[in-house]
Structure 1
C-alpha cells in the first residue's frame, strides 16, 4: 500500500512533459479500406519487459485522433514503467461498423505480436478507451480470442450500454446513425443493430479486471449506465472497480478541474493489476 501511495504522489508531483522526439509516431500496424492504420508508441527507459497499455481515443466513432483527448495519460504511464501504444482507427461514416472494431482488434494483435520489439510484455496488456473508444475497448476485451486477449481494461466514460442510452434519447443518436447506417427512428430493427455492438449485452464470467471512471454530470454517457454496467460485471464475478468523478462532464479535457489525480488513479490501478516491471 505504501508503494502505491508513493507512486501516486510521484505521478502527481511530476510536471515535466515528454518531448515529441521521445514518441515513435505513425507506426503502421495494418492497412484496410485503402487506409494506412497507424499508432504512436512510447517505451520507458530501462530493460523491460514492461507492461503495455493500448490507448483508444474517443470522438463518437467519427472523429478524434491518437494524439487527442487521452494525451493526459501519456506521461503518467511512461513514468510508471508502462510501454504505451495510442492507436488510430477508421472513422464513420466513411467507414461504418465494423471497421473501427476490426482495426482495434488488428492493433491489439499487432502489439501482442511485436511487444518484444518495444520491450513490452505480451502477457501484461491493458486496454484504455475513452467514450466511443471505451466501447471499442470493452467489446474487444469481451470478444477476445487468443490473438487479442488482454489482462486489464480501463473504460473512461465508456459508451458501455448503447441500448439504455438509445432508449433514454428516444432516437438513434447522430453518432450511431453514422456508425451503423441507420435512420433517426428508433424501431425494433435499430434496437437490434445497436444491441449487437453494446458491451453491456455481452457481459460474461471469465473477463479480465475492469476499472471504470465516470463523471456524475456527464450528459453524453450517463453515470447510471456505467454504474449499471459495473453491476453486470460484478454479478458475473468479473473484478471491477468504479470511480465516480463528482460534477465532471463528458469532456475529458475538463476532468482535471474536478479530479486532477484521475490519470494517477488509472496508473495506480494498472500497476496493482499488471505490475510495473
Structure 2
C-alpha cells in the first residue's frame, strides 16, 4: 500500500478554489497533454484596462529583431501621463508551453496603476515547437528595445522592472542572470511570483506535493523537458543552477507553503542573501501554486497583492526619476 506523504494544509479558501476549479489542476501532464493545457487558457480575451485604471491605453507593438533574432510582439498598457513612467516588463505563466501576452495581464495592470507604472507584456515563443533559448532570446530582444529609448517615449528606459509568474518568473530570473553575465540591459528590479526556477524538480517540496495542488513535479518535469529540448541546462535556462547570485537587482520572491516550488524559491532567496544581494521573500501559509490567480477573492490573495505593491513602491522611491 502506497503511503500518502504528509503535506502542509491548504488555506481553506484556496482549498475551496482547487475543488471548484478542478480543470486548472495539472498534476499528470505528459507531452501528449500539452494541447489540452494550452486549450485551458485559449479563451483569454485581450486585456482592456477598465476605466478604474485611470484610462490606461493599450498598444500592440513589435520589438524589432536584433542580429539573428526575431521581432517580438509586446502588449503595452500605459497611462496617459506626461513625461515617462517606470515599466513592468511582464512574463506570463504556462509552463513555457502555454499562455499568451494577455494571460494574467489584468492583474499586472492593476499593480501598475497602483504604483504609477506601465506594463509591457512579452509574447515569447513557446516550447516544444520553439525550445530554449527562443523564449529567453525574445525577452532579451524586448528588453533591449525598451532600454534603447526607441520604445514609446512614455516608457522610461532607465526604470525597468522584470516581473513574471510561474514559468514566467523562472524565465525572468534566468534572463536577469543572462543580462548580468553578458552586459545586457540594466534591470532596476526583479519580481518573481511563484517562479519555476529548477529543472530538476526534486526538492523536498516537489516530492512532498506530487499529486496535489495546481501544478506538481510530474507536470513540471514534462514542461522542463519540452522547454530544454534536449539541451544541456545552464543557469540561463534553469536559474537555480547559478553558482553565484551576486550582481542581481533587488529581488522580490513569493510562493505558497503548499506548492511544488516552495523550497527552490526559499533556496534562491537564501543564496541571494549569501552572495550579498537584496531579496525579499514571502512564503504564504497554505498557498497552492499561483493561489492568488486561482482564488483572487481570497483574503490571503489580497494580502499577497498588497505586499507586492508595497515592495514595488519602496523600490521605485529609490530610483532616480527621469
With the shorter chain as reference, the TM-score category is 0.7 to 0.9
The partner residue of 2:226 within 178, 181, 187 is 178
Mapped partners of 1:171, 1:16: distance in 2: 38
Pair 1:204 & 2:245 matched: yes
Pairwise CA RMSD:
2.9
Mapped partners of 1:31, 1:142: distance in 2: 21
Mapped partners of 1:131, 1:159: distance in 2: 5
Name which of structure 1's ranges 32-41 and 121-130 shifts more when overlaid on structure 2: 32-41
For residues 28-70 of structure 1, give each alpha carbon's deviation from its aligned partner in whole angstroms, at most 9, with x where no partner exists.
1145999752111122233232121100001111110111124
TM-score (structure 1 length as normaliser): 0.80
Gaps (5+ residues) in structure 2?
Answer: 1-49, 208-216
The number of equivalent residue pairs is 252
Pair 1:274 & 2:316 matched: yes
The partner residue of 1:157 within 174, 177, 194 is 194
Aligned 8 A contact 1:245 1:259 in 2:
no
Gaps (5+ residues) in structure 1?
Answer: 1-14, 183-189
Mapped partners of 2:170, 2:197: distance in 1: 6
What SS does the corresponding residue of 1:173 show, helix, strand or coil? helix
Pair 1:253 & 2:301 matched: no
Mapped partners of 2:235, 2:218: distance in 1: 15
Mapped partners of 2:245, 2:268: distance in 1: 12
Measure how far apart 1:225 and its partner are: 1.6
Measure how far apart 1:272 and its partner are: 0.9
For residues 182-227 of structure 1, give each alpha carbon's deviation from its aligned partner in whole angstroms, at most 9, with x where no partner exists.
4xxxxxxx8x536662212223322111000101122xx3212211
TM-score (structure 2 length as normaliser): 0.69
Name which of structure 1's ranges 86-95 and 199-208 shifts more when overlaid on structure 2: 199-208
